[in-house]
Chains A and B, each alone.
Chain A
Amino acid sequence: AQSVTQPDIHITVSEGASLELRCNYSYGATPYLFWYVQSPGQGLQLLLKYFSGDTLVQGIKGFEAEFKRSQSSFNLRKPSVHWSDAAEYFCAVGASGATNKLIFGTGTLLAVQP
């Protein structure tokens, strides 16, 4: 069965510092992988997704993620964090079959220090 692990529950970075959020997945084939962001009191917004092709994916708000099959990882990165990036970040894997069902990780809460 598919699963997603986000090992970091909470991360604090300084504004302007680089960021990497970890995501590991379990899946038997080439997965569909997603990163969503949830700002306080809001719904989830798609940052980026991977389903084939170039393993480095660019998303909105200056985020990128790299699919590494050998490590079963899809880590999210940003070279310079802004205070407005403070939010909760969710990694998700698409379930098998044409169902569009997503399996979400437990999320990583990002705090940004001035």
Chain B
Amino acid sequence: DAGVIQSPRHEVTEMGQEVTLRCKPISGHNSLFWYRQTMMRGLELLIYFNNNVPIDDSGMPEDRFSAKMPNASFSTLKIQPSEPRDSAVYFCASSVTSGGGETQYFGPGTRLLVL
């Protein structure tokens, strides 16, 4: 299996621009998670989907952030407009969710720099 695929791996953009991060989960997994990692705040869960439906978006920092999962094999995290404080590594993870305790498999991350 190819694992969780994220693109792009690196993104440099200017403040005010729209940024779209993409994720392809492992085939057969029904849960997808978006995390943000910074030195200051560590690893934060932004949003997670179960069977393509957003279940908990309480970690989404503000309205500038939005996430979609149009089908079981693709998700996007969009930032519009981007700000320098959004600079971070964004991880996507997927799992098979049944009764709890299942392993989350992480992608390699997208390193975002907003100038």
Contacts and interface: CB of A to CB of B under 8 A. Distances in A.
B97 A99 contact: yes
Q: Max chain A CB contacts within 10 Å: which of B91, B102, B105, B108?
A: B102
B66 interface: no
Nearest to B4: A43
Given A43-B109, A44-B106, A100-B95, A32 B101 contact: yes
A98 B97 CA distance: 7
A85 B111 CA distance: 23
Interface residues of A, number: 21
Q: Max chain B CB contacts within 10 Å: which of A43, A46, A94, A101?
A: A43
Given A43-B91, A107-B42, A100 B104 contact: yes
Nearest to B101: A32
Interface residues of B, number: 26
Contacts of A28: none
A102 B55 contact: no
Nearest to B109: A43
Contact of A49 (B33, B103, B106): B103
B56 A99 contact: yes
Interface stretch (B12-20, B43-51, B68-76, B79-87): B43-51
Nearest to A94: B101
Nearest to B107: A43
A90 B44 CA distance: 12
Contact of B101 (A36, A51, A90, A106): A51
B50 A99 contact: yes
Interface of A: 32, 34, 36, 42-46, 49, 51, 90, 94, 97-102, 104, 106-107
Given A100-B102, A102-B104, 5 more contacts: A32-B100, A43-B91, A44-B106, A99-B56, A100-B95
